[in-house]
């Protein structure tokens, strides 16, 4: 398993080793021990989620506030997405910046999105199956979001905004500057 720090150090790409032959392939998609060794702390994932989406569906930018803040370890089983993590930690040197990584059923890459980041993905192939681990259960009271179309974030979605398919909830999210429901840089949200 290979771990790669991105331009925003806390967001990590995970590349599992793929063992394949004429029969198919085998891959370890998660190793608690190796991830903990790389990070220097342990994330206790408690739930796995999965969604299936068609081309052009965008889910996000979502996050949960403490005490139910979530770390996500995301991957694509089938199809492909552009996955995005946005730093929403006030005072961070990378506040408002983002990392965008293509994840697919072929490349088997994963993205670790830590607490303090908003997360979204846009589907680039029909019948895409997206799976992820979280380290806190869903909490409606702590559920928040930011507009995918916030120009200040500089996210280059790979299709015109008018072609993107959204939930009703995601059409009403505020821009980053319009919300105070954010995280503070330097606070250990894992303690």
Question: Mind listing the pLDDT tens digit for each residue in 158-182?
Answer: 999 889 999 999 999 999 999 999 9
Q: Say if 189 falls within a structural domain.
A: no
Q: Which residue has the tokens 């179309």?
A: 149
Q: Say if 180 falls within a structural domain.
A: yes
Q: Say if 8 falls within a structural domain.
A: no
Q: Beta strands 47-53 and 110-113: pairing type?
A: unpaired
Q: Say if 90 falls within a structural domain.
A: yes
Instruction: Give catalytic residue positions.
Output: 62, 132
In 18-170 the beta strands, taken as DSSP E runs, fall at 18-21, 24-27, 47-53, 58-64, 72-78, 80-87, 89-90, 98-104, 110-113, 117-123, 128-134, 143-145
122, with CB counted inside 10 A (0-12, 13-18, 19+), is buried
Cα separation, 48 vs 168, in Å, equals 24
Q: Say if 54 falls within a structural domain.
A: yes
Q: Say if 69 falls within a structural domain.
A: yes
Give 16-43 pLDDT, tens digit per residue.
999 999 999 999 999 999 999 999 999 9
Q: Say if 136 falls within a structural domain.
A: yes
Q: State yes or no: pLDDT of 191 exceeds 80.
A: no
Q: Say if 56 falls within a structural domain.
A: yes
Q: What is the mean pLDDT of the chain?
A: 96
Q: How far is CA 49 from CA 45, 85, 137, 166, in A?
A: 11, 18, 11, 19
Q: How many domains does the chain have?
A: 1
């Amino acid at each position: 398993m290979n771990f790669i720090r991105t331009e925003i150090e806390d967001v990590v790409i995970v590349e599992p080793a793929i063992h394949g032959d004429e029969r198919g392939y085998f891959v370890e998609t998660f190793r608690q021990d190796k991830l903990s060794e790389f990070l220097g702390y342990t994330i206790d994932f408690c739930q796995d989620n999965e969604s299936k989406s068609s081309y052009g569906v965008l889910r996000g930018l979502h996050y949960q506030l403490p005490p139910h803040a979530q770390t996500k370890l995301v991957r694509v089983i089938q199809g492909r997405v552009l996955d995005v993590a946005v730093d929403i930690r006030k005072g961070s040197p990378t506040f408002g910046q983002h990392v965008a990584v293509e994840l697919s059923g072929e490349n088997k890459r994963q993205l670790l999105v830590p607490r303090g980041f908003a997360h979204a993905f846009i589907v680039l192939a029909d019948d895409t199956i997206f799976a992820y681990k979280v380290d806190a259960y869903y909490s409606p009271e702590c559920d928040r979001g930011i507009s995918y179309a916030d120009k200040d974030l500089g996210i280059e979605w790979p299709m015109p905004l008018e072609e993107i398919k959204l939930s009703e909830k995601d059409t009403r999210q505020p821009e980053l500057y319009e919300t105070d429901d954010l995280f503070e840089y330097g606070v250990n949200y894992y303690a």
